Structure 1
Amino acid sequence: DWWKEKLTDLTEKGALKDSGVKVESVQLSKRLVDSPCVVVTSQFGYSAHQEKIMRAQAFQNKDQLNMMAGRKTLEINPNHPVVHDLLEKIKQDKENSQAVDTATVLFQTAMIESGYDISDPSVLVKKVYAMMLKEVGADADAPMK
């Protein structure tokens, strides 16, 4: 129950609610060992390959594509240190900007790893660059010399 509540905080109520994340459900993974999360197709949703084919169709039904493309399941590895850190930050403050950025990067990299397209790759790139700058002790908002 605690995990389900925290996963709900992570997705629908908190960190991922405004980040363009479209998942049908969030579950604890029983198969992940090294990865913090993975995106899988729900029973009736399109696989990554099917989505690419449908997007390439000239006379595609955009309503059907949007409905079926949104049927993804986010599986989270409860034993991964990144997930633990993220949930601690969310527990302290659901609006924590670092937690939101981490959650967004986690989800979008899981989408890419699973073969899905992400809606705005430049958002992911900017967040990754900002995290790299922070890692080296530079301010992401400061002008470059």
Structure 2
Amino acid sequence: MGAYMSSKKTMEINPDNGIMEELRKRAEANKNDKSVKDLVMLLYETALLTSGFSLDDPNTFAARIHRMLKLGLSIEEDDTADDVEMPPLEEEVNEESKMEEVD
């Protein structure tokens, strides 16, 4: 019963937004760029927080922010620093098949 009462997460993206255009360009240039992956995940997790949802792993979120701060401040990463494993990217799913019809 609790599964029916929980809110569903839907993130709508404006493809004309400057941030999204730049992320797309960088991702197309290098699909394995860790900073692009971090930025995309930060964008998603920030959207979750501002929408009132909680994060499954706040430590991962904090580690991403620290990596982005170091990158922005041009501080080199320590080789001994613990890297947080990035979750695998999900395959593109046909959104129509996931939608449920409401009476």
**Class of the TM-score when normalised by the shorter of the 2 chains:** 0.5 to 0.7
Alignment deviations for residues 52-103 of structure 1 (CA, whole Å, 9 cap, x no partner): xxxxxxxx85xx27x955x321111223222111111222233321111111
Map of 1:26-37 to 2, 5 A cutoff? none
What letter corresponds to residue 76 of structure 1 in structure 2? I
Q: TM-score, normalised by structure 2?
A: 0.65
Map of 1:1-145 to 2, 5 A cutoff? 61=2, 64=3, 68=6, 71-141=8-78
Bigger relative contact order, structure 1 or 2 (CA pairs below 8 A, ≥6 apart): 1
Q: How many residues align?
A: 81
What letter corresponds to residue 31 of structure 2 in structure 1? K
Unmatched segments (≥5 aa) in structure 1: 1-59
More strand by share: 1
The SS at the match of 2:76 is coil
Q: Give the C-alpha shift of residue 133 in structure 1.
A: 1.0
The SS at the match of 2:10 is strand
Indicate the RMSD between aligned Cα atoms, in angstroms.
2.5
- 2: CA distance, partners of 1:125 / 1:117: 13
Give the fraction of aligned pairs with identical amino acids, expressed as a percent: 24
Q: TM-score, normalised by structure 1?
A: 0.48
- 2: CA distance, partners of 1:128 / 1:100: 12
What letter corresponds to residue 71 of structure 2 in structure 1? K
